[in-house]
Amino acid sequence: MLVLARREGESLRIGPDVRITVVALSSGHVKIGIEAPDDVFVHREEVLRRLEEANREAARAAAALACTGASDVDAARTDGASEGGFTR
């Protein structure tokens, strides 16, 4: 891991297309700005972990549903709603 010290308003580059700038500093917090092309995905680590876990859970539910032979989309829903938005 590369560790750098930056002051407010200073930037660093990752390749030719990504710029990370220290926007503001306050007690215990750093605000950063990230400029990157649209095809570069930028996610907060904790959000990405939650998305990955939700995807794993959805895959497990789909696999379990497939094992039961169920083919009805509504049977897989956990919120009680049907595909058309009506509750049963």
Number of H helices, E strands in the chain: 2, 3
Listed residue (10, 12, 19) closest to 40, CA to CA: 19
Q: At a CB cut-off of 8 Å and minimum separation 6, what does 34 contact?
A: 18, 19, 20, 21, 42
The pTM of this model reads: 0.60
Cα-trace Rg, the chain: 22
Q: Tens digit of pLDDT for each residue in 40-82? A: 999 999 999 999 999 999 998 888 888 776 555 555 566 655 5
Measured distance CA(40)–CA(62) in Å, rounded: 30
